[in-house]
Amino acid sequence: MLLLVDLDNTLVDRRAAYKAWAESRFGESEVRWLVEADRDGYERRETLAAMIAARYGGDERQVLTELRAGMVANLAPDPQVAQVLTDATAAGLVPFVVTNGTVAQQEAKLRRTGLDRLVAGWTISEGAGVGKPDRRIFEIAAAAAGIRLSETGWMVGDSAEKDIGGGHAAGLRTAWVALGRDWPPGLAYRPEITGRTGVAALRAVIQDTVGRE
């Protein structure tokens, strides 16, 4: 069974990595501004680098290079994530990463954390030429995994619109990584499962899969 999984803030703690980089580079007093400017990763990296350069000085391209390298350097393998992906595979699921971003950056994160050895593969928006929530990226990922999109498959991620909305529109069941947030009001869809963390959401998906056997 297909198990499409988001990367940032689902399989890796992007928030913690960014905060660690921000504090080490600019000091604790600047973390709040840097976090707000980052918009939890949804601000374009080039725009964020320009904002940082304007505030602190420096060359935008150099800031962008430091930002991307710092994000990867502050990630670490998570034994709980490794275990839940191993358990998912044992339960008959095929974990496959679907993530927006640049190929070089996202692949560096996968290798840094060892996730490249724990998933069946990955599809990255830059390489695919299309990003979440567009249905085509889910189709590309499913084809790469060798599994047809169907209602028995899953999409797990932290973005209500990109992961859950996109997965729902692609005909997948969905599990939302809440990270302490409430589900956004006004959306016409809801996830089948909500987990506090990526590990919790994946555990619930595994339990559901085993329970249906």
Structural domains of the chain, with CATH: 2-13+77-211 (3.40.50.1000), 14-73 (no CATH)
* 64-93 pLDDT per residue, tens: 999 999 999 999 999 999 999 999 999 999
pLDDT of residue 54: 96
Axis crossing angle, helix 198-211 with helix 79-90, rounded to the nearest 10 = 20
Per-residue confidence of the chain (213 residues) as pLDDT tens digits?
999 999 999 999 999 999 999 999 999 999 999 999 999 999 999 999 999 999 999 999 999 999 999 999 999 999 999 999 999 999 999 999 999 999 999 999 999 999 999 999 999 999 999 999 999 999 999 999 999 888 789 999 999 999 999 999 999 999 999 999 999 999 999 999 999 999 999 999 999 998 765
State whether the Cα torsion 92-154-122-74 is positive or negative. negative
69 vs 46: CA distance, rounded Å: 14
